[in-house]
Amino acid sequence: MRDDDHTDGPDAAAGAAPGEGLDGASFDLSLLLPFQITQLSARLAAQARAILARHGELSLPQWRIIRVVAVGLSNRSTAIRKSAGIDKSQFSRTVNAMVDSGYVTLAPCSEDQRQFEIHLTDKAIAAHARLAPELAARQRHLLNALTPDQREMIFPAIHALARAAETIDFLDNIPDPKD
Amino acid sequence: MRDDDHTDGPDAAAGAAPGEGLDGASFDLSLLLPFQITQLSARLAAQARAILARHGELSLPQWRIIRVVAVGLSNRSTAIRKSAGIDKSQFSRTVNAMVDSGYVTLAPCSEDQRQFEIHLTDKAIAAHARLAPELAARQRHLLNALTPDQREMIFPAIHALARAAETIDFLDNIPDPKD
DNA sequence: CCATCAAGGTGGACATGTCAACCTTTTTCG
DNA sequence: CGAAAAAGGTTGACATGTCCACCTTGATGG
């Protein structure tokens, strides 16, 4: 504990039964969907970093970009950025770091002067060749941990949740008291 | 594009058919489980921040801690930290920030001098009272976006994936070439 | 009892992610 | 056409998350 503060009262306000908190009945954090997904996401990221670390210095965002390009979706900066689901800002810094470390080269984009083309160097192609099989094995490992039923509905469920996460319109019935 | 670099060759190495990338067939990012979950997690966090921002200055990690305490699970620092799933370091800084901004008070822990007790102030209790109903509505909104089948298997699936994300033992068959 | 080791908290350093301001290029539309 | 709006990239600032070294306290085993 930091060497100060800690004033007085515990159970100061709100007449809640001791041991039950402010919510009526017992509360189970494991039923909080966003919380569980956040925790899962963090674990998956740690697992991915562990795999990347076995083969080199690629960071997770760097790998995500290399993967999109390697897969041949596009060489246009914006298309790559959107496929990788990375913020403009982070994308700019990550790509330029990869140029400096020799993973990619850039070329002007003829059709749109604002964008540029990204091309993998041999170094990136070699890294992709080493990493892709391991990450594919991991994907199989993860899907194997699910029952067939779960495998079948996991992607639709993720997609449905992603759409539901886009708005806060459901609060229109519960307006902000400050308004 | 940064005003330098961009050397020569596109399709430099690896005999891949143009337009298909280094993987044989067409590759679908939407089937990459960790990627989809990471994207979903980011959207959920953004949604949560939008809700928190309607009612005050609480950050997402601050809210996670307050929620654990409000729910009455424990007042002991370590128990709270582990329930909230937050790193030691971040927990320390977040709690001390909440002390400074008057959301919690600390008290020495008699049974274990290394830990401390965390108690909510009226300010935190009021914030919890305002936010908890909205976040509960959001939870319902998210679950409503799922079919009954999906609702039933989403938590077990998350749990199974979380366990599968704990190891990289599945790579034992594909040892690191550098070893 | 004492020596060790584990557990807990703090702080520094850094990686990752988000937001906003800004400038350039492209697109839209009057 | 030309002005305004939109899209794209860069940068700074900051929030969040992770890792590590360190110190103190507690638990373990001789």
Q: pLDDT for B91-123, tens place per residue?
A: 999 999 999 999 999 999 999 999 999 999 999
Residue A115 has pLDDT above 60, yes or no: yes
CA dihedral sign of residues B31, B32, B35, B36: positive
CA dist A20 to A23, B70, B120, B139, Å? 7, 9, 14, 21
pLDDT score, position B1:
65
Residue B141 has pLDDT above 80, yes or no: yes
How far apart are alpha carbons A69 and A75 in whole angstroms? 6
The spacing between the Cα labelled CA in B70 and the C1' in C9, in angstroms, equals: 22
How far apart are alpha carbons A69 and A120 in whole angstroms? 7
What CATH class is the domain A40-165? mainly alpha
Q: B27 vs A73: CB contact, 8 Å cut-off?
A: yes
Give the ranges where A10-169 is alpha helix by DSSP (H). Answer: 33-53, 60-70, 77-84, 88-100, 122-144, 148-164
Asked if strand C comes closer than 7 Å to A89 Cβ, the answer is yes
How far apart are alpha carbons B81 and B105 in whole angstroms? 16
Q: Which residues in B lie closer than 8 A to residue A97 (C-beta atoms)?
A: none
Instruction: Specify the pairing of strand A116-120 against strand A104-108.
Output: antiparallel
Q: Give the residue carrying structure tokens 């200055």.
A: B57
How far apart are alpha carbons B177 and A174 in whole angstroms? 58
Q: Which residues in A lie closer than 8 A to residue B21 (C-beta atoms)?
A: 69-73
pLDDT score, position A146:
98
Q: pLDDT for A5-46, tens place per residue?
A: 444 444 444 444 555 676 766 788 999 999 999 999 999 999
Q: Which residues in A lie closer than 8 A to residue B96 (C-beta atoms)?
A: 2
Average pLDDT on A78-90 reads 97
How far apart are alpha carbons B88 and B32 in whole angstroms? 31
Q: pLDDT for A50-70, tens place per residue?
A: 999 999 999 999 999 999 999
Asked if strand C comes closer than 7 Å to A42 Cβ, the answer is no
Interface test with B, best of A43, A75, A82, A122 (most B CBs within 10 A): A43
Q: B34 vs A43: CB contact, 8 Å cut-off?
A: no
Q: Does ipTM come in above 0.95?
A: no
What does the domain layout of chain A look like in residue ranges? 40-165
Give, as one character, the DSSP assignment of residue A86.
Answer: -
Longest dimension (CA), chain B: 69
Q: A12 vs B121: CB contact, 8 Å cut-off?
A: yes
